Structure 1
Amino acid sequence: MRTLSSFLGAVALVALSLNLGACFGDVSQGGDDKPDAGDSCAAASDNDAVRLALAPACEGCHVNGNKPFFASLAAFESGLVYDERFVKRGDPEGSLLIKMLKGVAPGSYAQMPPGQPYEQLVASGRVTMTIAQVEAWIRDLKAPPVQLDTPSPAEFKVRRLAADEMVVSLMDQLGLTLEDFVSTSDPHWRDQAYVVNWNKFFVWPGDWAPGISGQYVSDPRSVERFEALGGGNSLEYRKKDPSFGPSAGQALVQMSQAWCGRAVDKPNNKAVLRFATLADTSTKSPDAVQKNLRNLYLRMLGQPPADAELKELYEQVYLPLEAQSTRLAWVGTCAALIRHPLWITY
């Protein structure tokens, strides 16, 4: 398409001008530095031009971590462009990438980038490639080469979630609030002693409100559990532990089981059981169970499951536990996803 081709060419020129100093040194000083190893700042292909065009909106989260799509052209093509979970060549309407840009994707990440809608970024000039142009690129996307370039391992800078990130993320993903763990119904609860609701495996930092109080009455193990996850405590000069050792693993196992149980038992909570109920079984309502399983995977891990992995989760986790009860099956499946490497790492 002429419009798309013209746009891609313009992107390449803009990218070249913006990065000229980085590749050739300070051109105002008349230097004659050359690009390292013959690298060029210009877009190497149509796919690279799209990568450069989307980068201002996406590279903040996806230039490293376990999804470094924008770290390089190789990472962009192998991780996003030619992965049909995100881009379906010739079918922009069926591509998750387009749904994310429009803010209508299923799962926890309905909109990418999060926060400001993509069209507003285009309107503000921060991003120059419109959704219509991304759709045109997908519609005319060329077939992948026989052998895709492999991204450098150095591009995958993965770290574990910190303890505070685990607490906040789990509460949000499981539809839980502070009220599910502590007594906060009284309008003056912040100024009064409160007591942890027992047997709910409350996990909370020792230096977060409402923990700082002379009237604080609680289960002291809530802070111990947080520190076992690797959390710090500024009041006790305890640093965060960036490693993931046996204590963190044990705490996360117990936390995942208890909190998933809270989410399943919470009335009118659709976080875990969105498309199924505890009355649905694999024999009576197989479609509902499969749909809910797929949705739960997407919600917890942020990406659609591969058919083979979904099959393993169903056969090795859900079905054996369903023989005891559907509640136990969904609690166990939920907890298994929390212990998945994609959940633990960022």
Structure 2
Amino acid sequence: MHAPQWRMKALVLAVLALTQGACFGDSSYQNRNDGPPDAGGGGTCAPENDNDAVRLALAPACEGCHVNGNKPFFASLAAFESGLVYNERFVKRGDPDGSLLIQMLEGTAPGSYAQMPPGQPYEQLVSSGRVTMTIAQVKAWIRDLKAPPAPMDTPSPAEFRVRRLTAEEMVVSLMSQLGLTLEDFVSTSNPDWRNRAYVVNWNKFFVWPGDWAPGISGEYVSDSRTAERFEALGGGNSLEYRKKDPSFGPSAAQALVQMSQAWCGRAVDKQNNKAVLRFVTLADTSAKNPDAVQKNLRGLYLRMLGQPPSDAELKALYEQVYLPLEAQSTRLAWVGTCAALIRHPLWITY
């Protein structure tokens, strides 16, 4: 099923915005000794100041968990400064050894998170070249850290961000929007199936986190690729020490294309499910019942994207997606239309 030209262009623009706009590790800390950060480094993104240089240098080790969620320290310079740099819980200006940030990097922090990032000591990441800023340099930065700027608590409209949906958000949202439940994907033959590792039916293209209880069954009758698809979408797996991928690359795009087609097909075929076919049946065509088809297109657009379509957008969806596929079957037309909306930048981003 080929994406129409208008949708493909929009998807490409969204991917570029979500991937090429990201800042990764700053190389200005390579080949340095224990001196303070150099804000004029030659990384992939020019740092705005010393704090930003540190943010970019630490990002390869930290952004996997701290771009989104309740501690998005690495989402922007403002988030880094307000949430971490000038938060005395983590950084005590002038006192690196008393700063929780240093203790976590060294693996000696109190509490549940003694080491950050989890899974591999920070110094090993430095040795491998994944990050270029040493702990000694982080200490030097904290020791010489300047006072916070005056307007720290003033909201900045410039910090508005558009991000991709996480893999978890994609799975949960799509199941809700399409009227699907776990019973549509997993075996329910065991009366206690909800409390046992899910036996995933084959050929359903189920996508689910591998670390969500009660887990995915390892039996040969269960689709073992369920968690792999979730990770392809950018999801993490804490049991396997795999971090989330905040970008939207080729693997995520391919997984979403396949997922959208498979899940929309299940939604259309599901008996008494009005999620996709709210105002029409598969017997209604553009020739027999054009008003119902247009009404259903408009309603489906609103349901999936959260806003009504413009006349031009509705016309393009009808002429470039629905009609060509309706020539083969109305089922294929509604599956294709549903899948096209899921791949729309307004659905992918938040």
Q: Which category of TM-score, normalised to the shorter sequence, fits these structures?
A: 0.5 to 0.7
Equivalent-residue separation in structure 1 for 2:319 and 2:161 (angstroms): 32
User: In the alignment, is residue 184 of structure 1 matched against residue 188 of structure 2?
Assistant: yes
Gap change, CA 1:153 and 1:327, over 3 Å in 2: farther
Equivalent-residue separation in structure 1 for 2:341 and 2:196 (angstroms): 37
Q: Is the contact made by 1:318 and 1:332 (CA closer than 8 Å) also made in structure 2?
A: yes
User: In the alignment, is residue 333 of structure 1 matched against residue 330 of structure 2?
Assistant: no
Equivalent-residue separation in structure 1 for 2:307 and 2:159 (angstroms): 20
Gap change, CA 1:166 and 1:235, over 3 Å in 2: same
Deviation of the 1:198 alpha carbon: 1.6
Partner of 1:90: none
Partner of 1:219: 223
Partner of 2:310: 306
Equivalent-residue separation in structure 2 for 1:235 and 1:337 (angstroms): 33
Partner of 2:241: 237
Equivalent-residue separation in structure 2 for 1:176 and 1:194 (angstroms): 16
Please give the per-residue CA displacement for 1:251-305, whole angstroms capped at 9, x wherever unaligned: 0000000000000000000000000110000000000000000000000000000
How many residue pairs align between the two structures? 195
Q: State the TM-score, normalizing by the size of structure 1.
A: 0.54
Q: Which runs of 5+ in 1 are unaligned?
A: 1-151
Gap change, CA 1:180 and 1:226, over 3 Å in 2: same
Partner of 1:316: 320
Return the letter of the residue paired with 1:209: A
Equivalent-residue separation in structure 2 for 1:308 and 1:155 (angstroms): 31
Partner of 2:179: 175
Q: Is the contact made by 2:199 and 2:219 (CA closer than 8 Å) also made in structure 1?
A: no
Q: State the TM-score, normalizing by the size of structure 2.
A: 0.53
Residue 301 of structure 2: which of 274, 288, 297 is its match?
Answer: 297
Deviation of the 1:173 alpha carbon: 0.1
Equivalent-residue separation in structure 2 for 1:274 and 1:214 (angstroms): 38
Equivalent-residue separation in structure 2 for 1:156 and 1:190 (angstroms): 40
Matching of residues 17-56 of structure 1 within 5 Å: none
Residue 279 of structure 2: which of 275, 279, 282 is its match?
Answer: 275
Q: Which runs of 5+ in 2 are unaligned?
A: 1-155
Compare relative contact order (CA 8 Å, sep 6+) and give the higher one, 1 or 2.
2
Equivalent-residue separation in structure 2 for 1:159 and 1:273 (angstroms): 30
Equivalent-residue separation in structure 1 for 2:166 and 2:221 (angstroms): 26
Deviation of the 1:211 alpha carbon: 1.1
Partner of 1:41: none
Q: Is the contact made by 2:195 and 2:214 (CA closer than 8 Å) also made in structure 1?
A: no
Return the letter of the residue paired with 1:330: W
> What is the root-mean-square deviation of aligned Cα atoms in Å?
1.9
Partner of 2:83: none
Equivalent-residue separation in structure 2 for 1:191 and 1:156 (angstroms): 41
Return the letter of the residue paired with 1:239: K
Q: Is the contact made by 1:194 and 1:216 (CA closer than 8 Å) also made in structure 2?
A: no
Gap change, CA 1:162 and 1:278, over 3 Å in 2: same
Gap change, CA 1:213 and 1:253, over 3 Å in 2: closer
Equivalent-residue separation in structure 1 for 2:221 and 2:197 (angstroms): 6
Equivalent-residue separation in structure 2 for 1:287 and 1:214 (angstroms): 49
Partner of 1:196: 200
Equivalent-residue separation in structure 2 for 1:272 and 1:155 (angstroms): 36
SS at structure 2 position matched to 1:161: coil
